[in-house]
């Protein structure tokens, strides 16, 4: 078996983002609260752990900004998955990302795959950083903020699974 294919792991970057929906005067808005913890990943052939975290920002990359308050339903948001490998021996790709309506994914009545949906595969892009940077790469994709209309809950949770590969995964479009 090829060594590169043997060393990979699926890592659930369960860095929970809850999108609380607030009724505005004439429009629905979204308020995003983040639980932005860093996930540490042990990997062979490295002395330091790999790390990954997730962030949601307002706008379409590269014109994005932190979400300081609420945003309107239908506004563009960019989901960013940060990856750092101090050894520079590993790569990362998006396995899947889900939006759902319950803090417990298993109990969610509504789920939306943010990688593959009825319209096909969603484009994810990758920025690779130079070796002098503390960050290895960022995966990102843009979505429209939304709520689940059939849900009795006014919250949307996001979680992503990433695949960590030895040297190169190759799935996203490099930018």
Q: What is the pLDDT of residues 93-130, one digit of tens each?
A: 888 888 888 888 888 888 888 888 656 567 889 998 88
**Could you report the per-residue pLDDT of 15-46, keeping only the tens digit for each?**
344 444 444 444 576 555 555 678 888 888 88
Radius of gyration of the chain (CA): 17
Q: How confident is the model at residue 6 (pLDDT cuts 50, 70, 90)?
A: very low
- Give the torsion sign (CA, 146, 151, 156, 162): negative
User: Quick check: 157 and 16 in contact, CB under 8 A?
Assistant: yes
CB atoms within 10 A of CB 25: 5
User: What's the CATH number where 56 sits?
Assistant: 2.60.40
11 versus 150: the higher-pLDDT residue is 150
112: Cβ contacts below 8 Å, ≥ 6 apart:
98, 99, 100, 148
Give the domain range for residue 13.
Answer: 3-174
Given phi > 0 = left and psi -120 to 50 = alpha, else beta, which region is 21?
A: beta
Domain count of the fold of the chain: 1
pLDDT at 34: 53
Mean pLDDT score across all residues of the chain: 76
**pLDDT at res. 140:** 94
Tokens describing residue 141: 């994709």
On whether the CB atoms of residues 36 and 142 are closer than 8 A, the answer is no
Structure pTM? 0.78
Q: How far is CA 74 from CA 30, 71, 92, 113, 169, in A?
A: 9, 9, 29, 18, 32
């Amino acid at each position: 078996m090829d060594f590169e294919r043997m060393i990979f792991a699926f890592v659930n970057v369960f860095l929970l983002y809850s999108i609380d929906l607030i009724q505005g005067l004439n429009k629905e808005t979204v308020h995003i609260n983040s639980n932005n913890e860093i996930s540490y990943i042990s990997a062979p052939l490295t002395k330091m752990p790999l790390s990954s975290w997730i962030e949601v920002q307002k706008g379409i990359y590269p014109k994005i900004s932190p979400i300081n308050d609420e945003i309107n339903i239908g506004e563009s948001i960019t989901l960013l998955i940060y990856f750092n490998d101090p050894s520079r021996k590993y790569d990362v790709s998006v396995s899947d990302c889900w939006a759902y309506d319950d803090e417990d994914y298993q109990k969610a009545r509504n789920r939306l795959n943010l990688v593959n949906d009825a319209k096909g595969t969603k484009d994810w892009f990758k920025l690779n950083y130079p070796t002098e940077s503390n960050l290895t790469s960022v995966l990102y994709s843009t979505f429209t903020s939304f709520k689940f209309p059939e849900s009795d809950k006014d919250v949307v949770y996001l979680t992503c699974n990433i695949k960590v590969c030895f040297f190169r995964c190759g799935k996203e479009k490099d930018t």
